[in-house]
Amino acid sequence: MAATDLPSPQPRDALTTADAAVHVRGVTKEFGTGGSLTRALRGVDLDVPYGELLILAGPSGCGKTTLVSIVAGTLEPSAGEVMVLGKDLVAMSNGRKVKFRRENVGFVFQSYNLLPSLTAAENAAVPLLIAGWHRSRAVEAASEVLDKLGLGDRLANLPSVLSGGQQQRVAIARAIVHEPRLLVCDEPTSALDAENGRITMELISKIAVQPDRAVIVVTHDSRVYSFADRIANMEDGRIESVQAGPN
């Protein structure tokens, strides 16, 4: 065999796109133009390997939501490379991206984004309904997740009668009900007390330990740090440092 036929050795810490669930290089995002231009991301490089729970921390306005929205495929970057689960999101058509996102990504929005006319169980079942599940099976599966999150007695309630923390848990149930390969949570425990925060993070971190999955959690909540494999610190549109978490 010629030397050129041999596979080149891969250093363990040099992740290739095949190794990483998320591979981001040189990503920038600008909002507005001229005098109202905001440079929300100023060149972000980030890898999240499979099996990892990464925490994204940093002060308000530093670009955390912007970055995770780009990674989740709900926002276009101004420039840069975004590979998610081995797929190039920048090159993907909008139609394919919607399908890819529905099948592979769970996203807990900072603002919950629940549908006001659907019950808690129906809201949590939305990804399964979109995937073509029969309504009763989808609602049953969603109800099981809500029950684990302590909302078993709220299944038939509309979002308008739920507290902020209850709405937040419905949004979390909706993001994990279809067992996505990439789960992105923007401040998932901001409205939760200590006990519900712990239950929620335990459920979320179960997804990350699976070898074909990964989780990114944006948080200011230091109680959540104990679940992290790594913590990335953002500042002013850049990732300033990444450190090992206690997990």
Ligand X SMILES: Nc1ncnc2c1ncn2[C@@H]1O[C@H](COP(=O)(O)OP(=O)(O)OP(=O)(O)O)[C@@H](O)[C@H]1O
* Interaction partner, residue 38 (Mg ion, ligand X, none; CB < 5-8 Å by kind): ligand X
- Return the number of the residue (77 or 138) whose C-beta is nearest Mg ion: 77
The DSSP string of 115-163 is -TTS-HHHHHHHHHHHTT--HHHHHHHHHHHHHHTT-TT-TT--GGGS-
- Reading the block at residue 48, the tokens are 């999240």
**With contact defined as beta carbons under 8 Å apart, do 106 and 113 qualify?**
no
Q: Which partner, ligand X, Mg ion, none, binds residue 189 by CB below 5 to 8 Å per kind? A: none
CB of 194 to ligand X, least distance (A): 21
Give the nearer residue to ligand X in terms of CB position, either 56 or 228: 56
Q: Which is nearer to ligand X, 8 or 33 (CB)?
A: 33
CA pair distance 42, 26, nearest whole angstrom: 8
- Cβ atoms of 186 and 215 closer than 8 Å: no
Nearer to ligand X, 63 or 188 (CB): 63
| Residue 159 interacts with, from Mg ion, ligand X, none (CB under 5-8 Å by kind) | none
**Closest CB 76 distance from ligand X, rounded Å:** 12
* CB closer to Mg ion out of 65 and 119: 65
| CB nearer ligand X, residue 87 or residue 238 | 238
31 Cβ contact partners less than 8 Å away, ≥ 6 residues apart = 37, 38, 40
Shortest distance (Å) from residue 61 CB to ligand X? 4
Q: Which is nearer to Mg ion, 65 or 123 (CB)?
A: 65
CB of 9 to Mg ion, least distance (A): 40
Q: Which of 27, 46, 65, 170 binds Mg ion (CB under 5 A)?
A: 65
**230-235 β-sheet, strand order:** 105-108, 182-186, 214-218, 53-57, 230-235, 238-244
What angle, rounded to 10 degrees, do the helices at 135-148 and 120-130 form? 120
Tell me the closest approach of the beta carbon of residue 142 to ligand X, in angstroms: 27
214 sits in which H/E element: strand 214-218
60 binds, among Mg ion, ligand X, none (CB under 5 to 8 A by kind): ligand X
Q: What number of chain residues touch Mg ion (CB under 5 A)?
A: 1
Which backbone phi and psi does 84 adopt, to 5 degrees? -125, 125
What phi and psi, each to the nearest 5 degrees, are found at residue 52? -110, 145
Q: In angstroms, give the least distance from the CB of 158 to ligand X.
A: 26
Which residues bind to ligand X, rule: CB under 6 A? 31-32, 38, 40, 58, 60-66, 110
According to the binding rule CB under 5 A, does residue 219 interact with Mg ion?
A: no
- Output the smallest distance, CB 42 to ligand X, in A: 11
Please report the sign of the dihedral spanned by the C-alpha atoms of residue 115, residue 118, residue 119, residue 122.
Answer: negative
Query: Which parts of this chain interact with Mg ion (CB under 5 A)?
Result: 65
